[in-house]
Amino acid sequence: MRAAANPAGEAAPRRAGGRRRAPRARPLRLRWLAAAIVLTALPFAYPLFRPDLVGGPLPGAAGVMGLLGALAMWWQVLLGARQVSARFSADRGRLVTAHVWLGAGGAFLVLLHPLLEMVVDRHGPVYLVAFDFTWVESTHTSLGRLALLMFVLVWLSSTLLRALARHRLWQRVHYLSYPVVALVFLHAYGIGTFLAELPWLRAYWLGLAAAFAGVALWRVVSPLRAARYRLAGVRRAAGGVTVYRLRGTGVHPLPGQFCHLRTALLERSHPFSVVRARDGELVFAIKDAGPFTARLRELPLGATVLVDGPYGTFTREAQLAAGPVVLVAGGIGITPFVELALRHPDAVLFHAGRHPSDLGSRLGPRYHFAHPDERRLSAARVAGHAPGDAAYFVCGGPGFVTGMVRDLRAHGVPAGRLFSERFEW
């Protein structure tokens, strides 16, 4: 992507003095990330050829599985911290996908390691939960057991219990990933035979530990670096939606990207799509959905709102698309598409919701609305109105996005021309 004016007609933002802001990173290609993960794992392959250091092939495999499991968690934490992973790519959706894949693979390795150790030492299942802090080696072993129990809790909350847990509870449990990785580093450094016998591998392990500490520190202090915007306007719209205008500097999203907002430094942030961004003003259309949106509505004009971002790239891809663009929105999911639909002359917008958008009067026949009580927005209807070479962009609630993407794929839309945005996992 060049720094010149983009195909949608919006010039790249300028800094003071007339200099153009550097373009954001290109969307992440998962094969490049996979290559980076493999490269960081290569040092742990060497011990597989030195089973003599630990007494045989099975103990060697157990040790390597533990090191690789720790590396998978290290990468998972790195990609989970948006403030850090955004340095690699603004494509939050693909980063989240990679995070989920690493969670699945890492869980296998993390759980396999203690089971192999149990077999090697000829212990029963009690070995996995027998805590003993009375001497040095048992203390380091117990740190690994504590990490294992915490990891199981995180894994269960993200898989089997994800549908039952509220998002806030799930997120707080997910924060246990940080102490889990810290405990794993301490456990392996204190008891890992390979690390004790191979000084270069121990140095590499300490380098990974230092990088993890840096990521954790960066995440803690990142709210201090958020841009401070002033609430310049509030307007109520149909369907329980409030339109907010924020004025300030420091954040330059493209149409359809999203930012995280806070009303206080120590408050949990929430992601919202940017409706419009120009001349130092950010516009958000936010639906009433919980305590945070209630606090946001109570802010007086002139109040400070912390803005972190921007993130997301799938609507940027729509701006770069040479052919027709089909935008499919569920409810408030229309917000990333507002300015994009107006700027892209080939964009067709399908909107499912309780209230039609005022975009209808501006887009004319390019706007298709479906009320859930009258006519369901089906993938067949969407695909039937779209040219064969169209690119599809879907945004809305998790259920809407999952169902629409699945149905569009069933109607023959190739995966390479089907995009969906994900704020978080």
Backbone conformation region of residue 328, classed left if phi is above 0, alpha if psi is from -120 to 50, else beta? beta
pLDDT beyond 80 at 216 = yes
Identity at 353, one-letter amino acid code: G
Quick: pLDDT tens for 395-412.
Answer: 877 778 888 888 888 888
Say if 30-222 and 226-312 have the same CATH topology. Answer: no
Does residue 29 register a pLDDT over 80?
no
Selection from 182, 167, 297 nearest residue 242 by Cα: 297
What is the per-residue pLDDT across 299-345, written as a single tens digit (0 to 9) for each? 999 999 999 888 876 666 655 556 778 888 887 777 777 777 777 77
Q: Per residue in 229-263, is it b (16+ CB within 10 Å) or e — as a string?
A: bebbeeeeeeeebbbbbbebeebbbbbbbbbbbbb
Beta bridge partners of 90: none
The architecture CATH gives domain 226-312: Beta Barrel (2.40)
CB 20 within 8 A of CB 14: yes
pLDDT in tens, 162-195: 666 676 777 778 788 889 889 999 988 888 888 8
Percent of the chain at pLDDT > 90 equals: 12
> What are the domain boundaries of the chain?
30-222, 226-312, 315-420
- 45-76 pLDDT per residue, tens: 898 888 888 778 888 888 888 899 889 889 98
User: What's the rounded mean pLDDT across residues 127-153?
Assistant: 86
Instruction: Kindly report the CATH number that applies to the domain delimited by 30-222.
Output: 1.20.120.1770
> How far is residue 375 CA from its own chain's centroid?
33
Q: How confident is the model at residue 205 (pLDDT cuts 50, 70, 90)?
A: very high
The predicted model gives 219-247 an average pLDDT of 86
The model carries a pTM of 0.70
- For 315-420, CATH number out of 3.55.50.30, 3.90.79.10, 3.40.50.80, 1.10.1760.20 equals 3.40.50.80
Contacts (Cβ under 8 Å, ≥6 apart) of 1: 23, 24, 26, 316, 320
17 pLDDT band (50/70/90 cuts)?
Answer: very low
Q: Percent of the chain, pLDDT > 70?
A: 83
More confident residue, 67 or 5: 67
